[in-house]
Amino acid sequence: MKISVVGTGYVGLVSGTCIAETGVNVACVDIDEKKIEKLNNGIIPIYEPGLEDIYKKNVEKGRLEFTTDLGASIKDADAVFIAVGTPPDEDGSADLKYVLGVAREIGKNMDHYLVVVTKSTVPVGTSEKVKQAMLEELEKRGENIPFDVASNPEFLKEGSAVNDFLKPDRIVIGTESKRARKVMKRLYKPFLLNGHPILFMDIISSEMTKYAANSMLATKISFINDIANLCEIVGADVDNVRRGIGSDPRIGNKFIYPGTGYGGSCFPKDVQALIRTADEKNYSLDVLKAVEAVNYRQKEVLFNKLFKRFDGDLKGKKFAMWGLAFKPKTDDMREAPALVIIEKLLEAGASVVAYDPVAMNEAERILGDKISYAKDEYEAIIDADALILVTEWSEFRLPNFRVMEKLLKNKIIFDGRNIYDPEELAELGFEYFAIGRKTK
């Protein structure tokens, strides 16, 4: 089989590379010539564990290629995946200009039956727009070439995207066409050897599934964050409460870890987009509106604790920050809580020295010289008035507290991810602040 994947961002690159791994010939397409040149020279623009190995292997085998020529990439292809970006426009809704631009380009160039698969996360109803855009282009050409559209949302987590793609919990495919179903089933069968299902459904339900999944997950996080804040007020420990509720299988123990709020490229954008879709249909998704509001508030919780601890006097103080990425195993800082905390610290006249195991370049790109960058976690805390832990990288989990107490100016830790043991830190004489926990 042969496919074309348009868009060499995070989703396109992971999908294309993983599909090549099954023996399919994959052409990855992008309009960004520099990016394609890099990819042709062995440079992957994103950090994703495991990706480099299978990228190299499949390029060597001649199954994976990179090009700016969309027209050539769909010659002899069985399917073309649209995996370009859908950035939020000013009002928060997803901007479809890239998705529809690709649809038009396909319509202009195709010469045989194709399944056109939307892989980007797009608002409910987009596949229909893709179809219309293609029909218009074909009509302009006076051609009547058959094609089908399908929606195939991705559920990849950054940091484990390759594994998620190779061993999916489920594959969701929305299409009304039998012919398209056959092509998609063939493509995905090798990934379902673990017995997990391929779920065929109508297009709108498939598009909706992606938003509902991410919204449900975001809801779990905002819920536990809200509960954590109340735990502090009433004197409970959210870590006990989390374990207590998580053992009920209906609730489950995953994704109920309180923290500094969710970030990343998906949850904030998708929650907003679904709220907007509902609003446009005069329906108010009140639960999700609260989820979003709680998340905004949660990103400030750690700063507020710190502000209170220093009686509002942060001028001239220096704070160490461990972790900048929105979560571990990625260098992605989109909507990262660290950015909100840094902004507030700088506003209050404090300075920040940060260390993140992989997001340092990304941080410099975004923040420039607004903050300083340390070469490791211990250098970051030298003479710091307190340590603020924002991302729960595993290397921060068991630091040498004896060394830390010598380096820090004050033995104070603000832990936004509840990774330390309050009792241990109290014994070591640290002042410890966490999220929703009994720390004194």
Per CB under 6 A, 214 contacts ligand UDX: yes
Binding-site member from 117, 256, 320, 374 for ligand UDX (CB under 6 A): 256
With b for 16 or more beta-carbon neighbours within 10 A and e for fewer, the 248-258 pattern comes to eeeeeeeebbb
Phi, psi of 344 (to 5 degrees): -70, -35
With b for 16 or more beta-carbon neighbours within 10 A and e for fewer, the 196-220 pattern comes to eebebbebeebbbbbbebbbebbbb
Per CB under 6 A, 77 contacts ligand UDX: no
Is 156 labelled a binding residue?
yes
Collect all residues with Cβ–Cβ distance below 8 Å to 414 and sequence separation of at least 6.
Answer: 302, 305, 306, 386, 387, 388, 389, 433
List the x/- string, 134-163, binding to ligand UDX by CB under 6 A: --------------------xxxxx-----
Binding-site member from 327, 380, 404, 420 for ligand UDX (CB under 6 A): 327
Binding-site member from 113, 255, 307, 378 for ligand UDX (CB under 6 A): 255
What's the closest the beta carbon of residue 103 comes to ligand UDX, in angstroms? 22
Is 210 labelled a binding residue?
yes
The residue to which tokens 């559209």 are assigned: 149
Phi, psi of 89 (to 5 degrees): -85, -175
Number of residues that bind ligand UDX (CB under 6 A): 19
415 CA to centre of own chain: 22
Per CB under 6 A, 223 contacts ligand UDX: no
What's the closest the beta carbon of residue 263 comes to ligand UDX, in angstroms? 4
39 CA to centre of own chain: 22
What's the closest the beta carbon of residue 243 comes to ligand UDX, in angstroms? 13
Binding-site member from 10, 257, 432, 433 for ligand UDX (CB under 6 A): 257
- CA-atom Rg of the chain in angstroms: 24
CA dist 48 and 40 (Å) reads 18
Binding-site member from 29, 110, 183, 221 for ligand UDX (CB under 6 A): 221
What's the closest the beta carbon of residue 169 comes to ligand UDX, in angstroms? 9
> Nearer to ligand UDX by C-beta: 65 or 154?
154
Concerning whether 18 is annotated as a catalytic residue, the answer is no
The residue to which tokens 């089908």 are assigned: 148
> Nearer to ligand UDX by C-beta: 102 or 156?
156
What size, in residues, is the chain? 440
The residue to which tokens 């109290």 are assigned: 426
Per CB under 6 A, 259 contacts ligand UDX: yes
Per CB under 6 A, 292 contacts ligand UDX: no
Indicate if the alpha-carbon torsion angle 118, 7, 50, 322 is positive or negative. Answer: negative
Question: Are the C-beta atoms of 225 and 261 separated by less than 8 Å?
Answer: yes
Q: What is the DSSP letter of 411?
A: -
Per CB under 6 A, 200 contacts ligand UDX: no
Residues that bind ligand UDX (CB under 6 A): 154-158, 214, 217, 221, 255-257, 259, 262-264, 266-267, 326-327
Residues tagged in the binding site annotation = 30, 35, 86, 121, 155-158, 210, 255-259, 263, 269, 327, 334
**Which amino acids are annotated catalytic?**
266
